[in-house]
Structure 1
Amino acid sequence: MTQRFNRGEFWLLASSVEYSIPLPLLALPEWAPGGAMNTIDICLNRHGHGLDFQALVDTLLHVRRNGWIQFGRPLAGESVPFSEPDADEIAAFLRERGRGLDTVHYWLTVEGGAAWEAFARPRWEKYLTSSCEFPQDGSTFERSYTLETSDWQWLDKYLRAQATEQVIETGSMTLGELRPWQATYWKTLPFGLRCTFRSVEHRLRGHVPDSSRMLASWCEWR
Structure 2
Amino acid sequence: MAPPVSESPPVETLDLWLLEAAMELPTPLHMLVEPNPHIALNMADDPRLSREELCERLSLLAERGLIRVHALPDGLQELFSPEEISSAIDARQSRTPFGYSLTDAGGAIWEHHARPDWSRFVNAGQEPSADEAQDAWVIEAASLEAADAEFHFHESLGDVHQPVGESKHGEVLTPWQVTYWKTLPHGYRLRYVTVPRPADPARSRSVPSRPPWYTRVWL
1:204 paired with 2:200, answer yes
Give the Cα separation in 2 of the matches to 1:94 and 1:194. 36
Q: Name which of 90, 99, 109 aligns with 2:103.
A: 109
1:158 paired with 2:144, answer no
Give the Cα separation in 1 of the matches to 2:6 and 2:206. 35
1:45 paired with 2:39, answer no
Normalising by structure 1, we get a TM-score of 0.80
Aligned length: 205
Shifted more, 3-12 versus 171-180: the winner is 3-12
* Contact 1:70/1:81, CA 8 A, preserved across alignment: no
Give the Cα separation in 1 of the matches to 2:90 and 2:162. 46
Unaligned runs of 5+ in 1: 31-39
SS at match of 1:171: helix
Normalising by structure 2, we get a TM-score of 0.81
Q: Residues 88 and 132 (structure 1 numbering): CA distance in 2 closer, same or farther, change over 3 Å? A: same
Q: Residues 135 and 153 (structure 1 numbering): CA distance in 2 closer, same or farther, change over 3 Å? A: closer
SS at match of 1:125: helix
Task: Note the 1:52-91 alignment, pairs <5 A.
Answer: 52-74=50-72, 78=75, 80-82=76-78, 85-91=80-86
Unaligned runs of 5+ in 2: none
1:54-103 Cα offsets, whole Å, 9 max, x none, are 2112111111111110021125x51x352x622221221223343x7621
Q: Please, what is the CA RMSD of the aligned residues?
A: 2.6
Give the Cα separation in 2 of the matches to 1:121 and 1:95. 35
Give the Cα separation in 2 of the matches to 1:73 and 1:22. 9
Percent identity, aligned pairs only, is 25
The one-letter amino acid paired with 2:155 is A
SS at match of 2:138: strand
The one-letter amino acid paired with 1:189 is L
